[in-house]
Amino acid sequence: MDFLGIAALIAAIAFAVLVIFLGKVLNNLSDVLSKTGDTIGKLPDQLDEISKETGTILHNTNETILDLNEKIKTLNPIFGMVEDAGTASRKVSSSLVDLTESMRKQTNAAAKMTDNKDLRGLYGLAAFVYFLNQKKKEYNEATQNT
């Protein structure tokens, strides 16, 4: 055989190997496209299921929101009562603060008057006599009961 025949034989063998390789690749591609077609065929059913589930979820969400609205309407008077109680306690504590402040001012004024008139000793003596008188009464009652 001459070189031209050998070259043609090598080219023919290379072409046959290429055709076999391309055949396998195209066969695999055909399988992939077939499976893709099956998947795409199932897609509308899956989308229908997803749409139904989404509708169910939205319906349940709406019912939950309605239930929450009813419960909040039920709780609104309680919140109003808590607010009223807070307002009342604030007013009471405010009046107690005012009363305490006025008593403090009166006590300070009395203390200043006592200091100014040097009556501190006299008031102390009166308090001591009152204390002794109370103790004497307690002692007398205790001795009479026994």
3-state SS, one letter per residue, for 96-114: HHHHHHHHHHHHHHHHHHH
Overall domain count for the chain: 1
How does pLDDT run across 52-102, given as a tens digit for each residue?
999 999 999 999 999 999 998 888 888 888 888 888 888 888 877 877 887
**Domain containing 99: what range?**
3-145
Give the CA count within 13 Å in the CB-facing half-sphere of 81: 5
The predicted model scores a pTM of 0.40
How far are the Cα atoms of 23, 105, 107, 108 from residue 98, in angstroms, in the given order?
Answer: 101, 11, 14, 15
Report the pLDDT value the prediction gives residue 115, as an integer from 0 to 100: 60
